[in-house]
Amino acid sequence: MLSFDTLPPDVQRPQYNRSALRTRMVHIGFGAFHRAHQVLCSDRLAAEQGSDWGYCEINLNSGELITALRQQQLCYTVAEMADDQLNLRVVGVVTAALHGQSDGIEAVLEALCQPEVAIVSMTVTEKGYCHLPASGELNLEHPAILHDLANPNAPQSLPGIILAAIRRRRERGLVPFSVMSCDNMPENGHVTRNVITALARQQSPELAEWIQQHLTFPSTMVDRIVPAMTDETHHALSEKLGCDDPVAVACEPFFQWVIEDNFVSGRPAWELAGAELVADVLPFEEMKLRMLNGSHSFLAYLGNLAGYQHISDCMTDSHFRQAARQLMMEQQAPTLRTTGVDLTAYADSLLTRYSNRAIKHRTAQIANDGSQKLPQRWLDSIRWHLARQSNFDLLALGVAGWIRYVGGRDEQGQPIVINDPLRDELAKRVAESAEGEPRVSALLGLKHIFGEDLANNAQFVQQVNHFYRLLLSQGAKETVHQLVAGV
């Protein structure tokens, strides 16, 4: 466990008065990205500006991290890694930690109802919002939503938990809080507002109207590469720390956080610690989702099929590197509404970040939850190109790569573990369709992902089928090579 007594002198540690922190923020989803991003920003603010904004951290599922965090005085280590450099910082801005299952949902709701709480934020991945990715609307057939409709005071879903806390705070006369999504979704604040007010509308239209009038749902754009910890990284950190920290995270040095400045009960001065507070986040969201996340997903599916375990491995292949750059500059950048940003420099900076050998970002990790990611990373761009009759061949290859990947077998015939909320439906459609065009048709028929329009668009279907045939006949490496070479 992390011990302040044995820390080397070159490890940064909290120099501020931790007892002066107040629990003014509650965060749901104590994952690696949150630990390396939002908490770290708030920790810098406490260290450099004397901020008293502390976090109560909540995990609804996994309890091991919360237990470990409690055992080491609510502190953990962030390691910023760039090739051969390793800089360590102990973060101390967490003031409380709860596990939804072991501590109980009532304890979670009471944490959200502390009078001083002004912000509730979350990083639960796209699937945690119980929404339909193609439309952004609440999925009223989701099992957790059905449970919450029947049991509003003992909720299971993220929307249900936040709604129950809103209702309870209102009944107690407490100030409303702002609800801030930090997940990779376009207009994530709007999606969060939609699912919570839609659920409220099912229970009380009057409460839904009150939420619309009194709460704010600021959108955010978050950017930092935070791969899953490996045994190798854990060992390197333990060697440097002189102890083991099971809550530690490793990340790249790059950090960006763009926040819509729309908070109903105040906020930390995050802009003093590197964040950007703006009136409209959407242009930044689109840029990041389509150029960074879109190219990441392309490299994840095609790279994994080609045998590359990490994004940095893909960057050693000149054809994959060129394909990622062409995807960003030729097929994603034209679709953006971003102004005043040098997109060429942005694309080049992304390729440099992808090449960081110290960041072992697994292609299989990025490939998870593709059914939730495709609409905002690729499909909206494809619709843009279809409307203008412009080229989207790399995007179509990405979709074909996803179909090949969720088939569950790699190019050597070895099984691929599919982690996706639609895993059972994907497996069913794969099992019931013959390889080739029937497989493509079966998976493009998933309306939750592709909507009605793309599945019925002959040009789109033809393009995807073309690249799927190439992937089957010659593999991902050769298909990518031929496409960037113009063969």
Closest CA to 28 of 19, 38, 43, 42: 38
From residue 313, give the alpha-carbon distance in Å to each of 128, 142, 304, 449.
30, 38, 10, 29
pLDDT of residue 408: 95
> What does the pLDDT read at residue 332?
98
Q: How far apart are CA 318 and CA 305, in angstroms?
A: 16
* Residues making up the chain, counted from first to last: 487
Strands 256-260 and 220-223, bridge-based pairing: antiparallel
CA distance 405 to 467: 13
Tell me which residues of the chain have a pLDDT lower than 70: 487
Q: Give the integer Cα–Cα distance in Å for 82 and 77.
A: 16
Domains of the chain: 4-278 (3.40.50.720), 282-485 (1.10.1040.10)
In what helix (H) or strand (E) does residue 302 lie, and over which residues does it extend?
A: helix 294-305
**Structure tokens given for 363:** 């292609």
How far apart, in whole angstroms, are the C-alpha atoms of residue 71 and residue 89?
A: 18
Query: What local confidence, expressed as pLDDT, does residue 5 receive?
Result: 76
Q: What confidence score (pLDDT) does residue 94 get? A: 98
